[in-house]
Amino acid sequence: MALSPNTSFLHLSSPKPKILSFPIKPTFRAKSFAPMASVGVSPALSISETFSLLKEKKKVAFIPYITAGDPDLSTTAKALKVLDACGSDIIELGIPYSDPLADGPVIQAAATRALARGTNFDAILAMLREVRPLENKSMALPSSSSSSSLIK
């Protein structure tokens, strides 16, 4: 997977798309996002499509955030499954990095704990490969200039 160091989000599309309203014609086309990279084996609702459908239904999005690897990656995998089953529209999975100055104290502490337990980007991607076939939602992996070295 190749990502630009300036990527602000990595979009992992769901292998089991859930069409919220009809008539929507599912299409398999390569999607290009300026601020996102799309990864997946089948078409799914993109983040922008999810927001559009929610807007049509006059609903708001439920987008929980968790830090990958806190307390460990197996717990993160279980949490992703629970968040998916609880009706999350998009799940934001934070990638821990060593200098999270832009984050608040709670996320800083979670990143510190995850890194202390050896969490790294390759391990997170390996965990996601196991979890993604079970999930129905789009997932966003936020990154920043501080964490771009992890993505290279």
Distance CA 126, CA 93 (A): 14
Q: Which of 92, 122, 130, 135 is catalytic?
A: 92
Token digits of residue 104:
């608040």
Burial of 22 (0-12, 13-18, 19+ CB in 10 A): exposed
Helix/strand/coil percent split, the chain, to 5: 35, 15, 50
> 89 an active-site residue?
no
CB-based contact 77:126 (threshold 8 Å): no
Could you tell me the two tokens for 107? 């996320």
Is 56 a residue of the active site? no
Q: Read off the amino acid at residue 10.
A: L
Check 70, 84, 103, 135 and give the catalytic one.
103
Q: Which residues are annotated as catalytic?
A: 92, 103
